[in-house]
Chains A and B, each alone.
Chain A
Amino acid sequence: MTGAAAANQPVPLLAVRDLRVYFSPAGQDGPPVRAVDAVSFDLADGAALGIVGETASGKTSIARALLGLHPPGSTRGSIRLTGQELVDLLEEEWRPIRWRRVAMAAQSSGSAFDPLYRLGEQIAEPLRAHLGLAGREAQERVEALARRVGLEPRHLRAYPHQLSGGEKQRAMLAMALCCGPELLVLDEPTSGQDVLSRARLIDLLDQIRQESGAGLLLISHDLAAVARLTGRVAVLYAGKLVEVGPTAAVLAHPRHPYTWGLLNAYPNMTTARDLRGIRGRLPDPADPPPGCRFHPRCTQAVERCRHEEPPLALAGDRLVACHLGGLQTLLRADGLRKVFSGHGRPGPEEERVEAVREASLELLEGEVVALVGETGSGKTTLGRLLVGLLQADGGRVVFEGQDLAAASGRQRKALQRRIQLVAQDPFDAVSPRLTVAEIVREPLDVQKVGPAAEREEKVRRALQAVGLPVDPAFLTRRAHELSGGQLQRVAIARALVLDPKLIVADEPVSMLDASEQAKLINLLKEIQNERGMGLLLISHDLALVRKVADRIVVMRDGEIVEEGLAGRVVAQPRHPYTRALLEAAPAFAWEDVEERDEGGVILEKQSVIPAQAGIHPE
């Protein structure tokens, strides 16, 4: 903030500029590791800011910097508390600021208390140190604080090991509030709590936030807490801010690919979805990738991302650090129309069938969209329009910014490499006389990709990706010798072999039995996640696709009737037709529950046995 700006603007409670936190690496030598890199943000009086990011993204380092807890000299940049510079204060100068003005409820409250003292004594400690309160006065104050966070006097007499995690979490909160701080830093206040106590804790925090009037900095990966408690949110990736904006807007419409991935990986009770994290892993802070730190995991990275760091730039209502300005739309369809004239078929309206009527659809980078509808809803026609197998009678399809219809011959050929279709019935799609190797290699031959050896290699890798053997015996099998599941896998491998950006899969599993269906749909999702492709899943089976879809688009009679995030559509369907689809979906057969525990995040019960559904193809 410049001097001139400061003069006519109120001084914010907290102004952080270009904050950097360095660590000496474990092995002593080598350059210091930058855990936090050039982070800037403001926090107004009584406002609440959320900082979200994965573990080891630098969140906790920011919290500690605000209390001067890093070794001297390792924090650089500027931290101003109501105008007072805090960076480089001496330990004695920090003391009156700590807890009196900036208090923290630390992560891992399990080990945040000295095991040898009663909780009451530990909560009272800052009272004596900062306010000179002792004896009865301190006692009364501590009891009042305890009541406020829902603890009883007996909890205060207990030692840390005698209390549950939730009780300690509350005690930590009471302790943080004891001196009436101006700024309250909450570092993962809800971590390690079960769902119920988490919800109660969030309620409590919300209440405290409103009552205390303190500025709140909530550092968390708990998006539910952030959504509830904060007005603004900053997303941290590998020590750098990648997106900053109003919480509601950022969570509803993430702009940075990382924010989007984070939201998609967030467990949500209303989605019966299998979680899959962002592909790849958080970079080693000692050796962050050059350019955009997210580029090895980004599905839309371009050459520039590899060597040039994107600045945090203003884009509409928020700041985003991305060369492309944020998440790109991979495929967009605007007002698509398709009319078939029924040859020789008598009927009204001059034997015309409007298969697709004014359909608009969007698919983001790396997104899985499920297009759901009954047979005859026009979903297959729409899929064919999208991949360019059919000519639209109106509207247009834009893929990676290029109008499909307007593409020249060469461009069209290039585009065909990037969009692949997996058809419903693989027996239709491939000649039964071809061998496995020939089927998968064919697109490479057509596109004339590289020398023969390279093609063989690509074929092998594609087959491995779909979990098929690559021994000569299998490669020389003919299509008609394969089972339905195997053939569909071969068809997927054939689609993958060109490394497409988007796969449109039309009922890819409907010919298979139930358990094979679940396996294959999971495989598709896995491949999609790993390769960072877009996936448009066309299906009649809402129960099946909601396990993998990020968004669901519902189609009926050639029209799109509902569209939304998978969790929302499943939990609160808006259109009656969607409701009908959901009701007709396979009933849960609890005898056959399949329990799945994805990294300890969600426990999902989902039957894979379709009951007598009302909606079925043919």
Chain B
Amino acid sequence: MQRRILSYLLTLWIVLTVNFLLPRLLPGDPLAALLDPQSSDYVFDAEARAALEAYYGLDRPLPEQYGRYLLGAFTGDLGRSIRLNRPVGELIGAHLPWTLLLTGTALFLASLLALLGGTEAAWRRGSWRDRVLVTAGVVAGNAPVYFVGMMLLILFGAWLGWLPLAGGRTPFAHYDTPLAAAADVGRHLLLPALTLTLALVGAKFLLVRSSVVSVLSEDFMLVLRAKGLSEGRLKWAHALRNALLPFVAHLAAHASMAITGAVFIEALFNYPGMGRLIFEAVGARDYPLIQGVFLVVSTVVLTANLLADWLNARLDPRLRAEQ
């Protein structure tokens, strides 16, 4: 595990450095352009310009810029957004929880469905039920997120009117109890989370199914059957338990898939998460914001990776022995 943590820290440092170097190496120096009155990107707001100058310190030597940047990253000072004229750290702090809520919910639901469905399908591989599930999995995995979200929105939001059309909660609402607040957030969460779940469940399902199928062909499964154990024990305690290892190993990849998907879905549902922040930042060429978002998203994905590794080591005694 120590080696894992070391490599995690190393990767994190590389990400930080790339994030630092990239805009500085881009042709036309986009950062300088912000402060150049001749450029079309020139920031007119004097206060914002001052903040930019202070944050980037483009007039100082590069190593000093780098040192200040690293220091800022660790203390949460990610500069100031040009467009929104607020500290980037504050903006991210306001949006990140929403995205984590959305992706976390969707990942959990998709995993649960995939594990149950994948194991059942593998157990009855070749049957009509298996074929239906596989087809559904392939379709769900390949359907365009945007389109699926739109259909759900039209059906449940516009047509049936059961669920809110947009936002993370009802604007200007006042809640009497925390429960009421949670219910409101939940109602807003439902459609985007469902859309993201559908986007994620296909790949996960196929992964679980093929892992369980390969576990079922192992010698030990035959021995376990010969032992006269119940079907439930064979299926869940042994077949699925073994298939969990590849599943967890893919968890980090699925987490980054979830975040990418979330960007589109948040835009569609006007959900107040990082996705909207990204759209705004890119649209306005808000460099401090873009860098900040990139940094935070990378850190989240890297951390998910580390967590998955740790979890796998917990689950597999053979890996535990190596450490």
A interface, CB within 8 angstroms of B: 64, 67, 69, 91, 94-100, 103-104, 106, 108, 111-116, 125-126, 129-130, 159, 161-162, 175
Contact = CB atoms under 8 A, between A and B. Distances in A.
Contacts of A175: 227
Q: Which 5 A-B pairs have the closest CB atoms?
A: A98-B228, A111-B219, A159-B317, A99-B228, A95-B228
A21 B316 CA distance: 37
A310 to B, nearest CB: 34
Most buried by A among B224, B228, B316: B228
Contacts of A95: 228-230
Contacts of B223: 104, 106, 112-113
Given A115-B318, A159-B318, A97 B226 contact: no
Interface residues of B, number: 22
A299 to B, nearest CB: 37
Contact of A129 (B218, B233, B241, B317): B233
Most buried by A among B220, B231, B317: B220
Contacts of A103: 226
A130 B241 CA distance: 22
A111 B226 CA distance: 14
A159 B220 CA distance: 14
Given A116-B241, A129-B233, A159-B317, A111 B227 contact: no
B223 to A, nearest CB: 5
Given A69-B222, A115-B242, A161-B321, A126 B228 contact: yes
B236 to A, nearest CB: 13
Contacts of B231: 91
Given A67-B226, A97-B228, A98-B228, 8 more contacts: A91-B231, A99-B227, A113-B220, A116-B316, A116-B317, A126-B228, A129-B230, A159-B317
B68 interface: no
B238 interface: yes
A128 to B, nearest CB: 9
B228 A100 contact: yes
A91 B226 CA distance: 11
17 contacts: A69-B222, A94-B228, A95-B229, A96-B228, A97-B228, A99-B227, A112-B220, A113-B220, A114-B220, A114-B238, A115-B242, A116-B315, A116-B316, A125-B229, A126-B227, A129-B230, A159-B321
B225 interface: yes
Contact of A104 (B226, B315, B318, B321): B226
Most buried by A among B219, B231, B233: B219
Binding site secondary structure of chain B: helix
Contacts of A69: 222, 225-226
B291 to A, nearest CB: 43
A130 B229 CA distance: 8
A111 B242 CA distance: 13
A129 B229 contact: yes
A389 B238 CA distance: 74
Interface in B238-260: 238, 241-242
A69 B219 CA distance: 12
Nearest to A92: B231
A125 B224 CA distance: 9
Given A114-B224, A126-B229, A129-B233, A161 B219 contact: no
B316 A111 contact: no
A372 to B, nearest CB: 49
Contact of B219 (A98, A112, A130, A159): A112
B318 A111 contact: no
A274 to B, nearest CB: 34
A304 to B, nearest CB: 41
Contact of B227 (A91, A125, A159): A125
Nearest to B241: A116
A106 B228 contact: no
Given A99-B226, A129-B228, A111 B321 contact: no
Contacts of B316: 115-116
A113 B318 CA distance: 13
Interface in B206-238: 218-220, 222-231, 233, 238
A381 B7 CA distance: 84
A424 B318 CA distance: 65
A98 B227 contact: yes
Nearest to A66: B226
A126 B225 CA distance: 10
A304 B244 CA distance: 58
A609 B318 CA distance: 52
A390 B238 CA distance: 76
B220 A98 contact: no
Interface string B306-317: 000000000111
Contacts of A96: 228
Contact of B242 (A116, A126, A129, A162): A116
A112 B218 CA distance: 8
Nearest to A95: B228
A94 B225 CA distance: 10
Nearest to B219: A111
Contacts of B222: 64, 69, 106
A114 B233 CA distance: 13
Contacts of A67: 226
B115 to A, nearest CB: 16
Contacts of B229: 95, 125-126, 129
A111 B224 CA distance: 12
B317 A161 contact: yes
A108 B226 contact: no
A106 B226 contact: yes
A609 to B, nearest CB: 48
Given A111-B218, A111-B219, A115-B317, A98 B233 contact: no
Nearest to B320: A159
Most buried by B among A94, A95, A104, A116: A116
A65 B225 CA distance: 13
A162 B320 CA distance: 12
A557 B45 CA distance: 124
Nearest to B222: A69
Given A112-B219, A114-B238, A161 B318 contact: yes
A162 B321 contact: yes
A177 to B, nearest CB: 12
A91 B222 CA distance: 13
Contacts of B238: 114
A63 to B, nearest CB: 9
A91 B234 CA distance: 13
B227 A129 contact: yes
B220 to A, nearest CB: 5
A64 B221 CA distance: 13
B219 A106 contact: yes
B241 to A, nearest CB: 6
A95 B219 CA distance: 18
Nearest to B229: A129
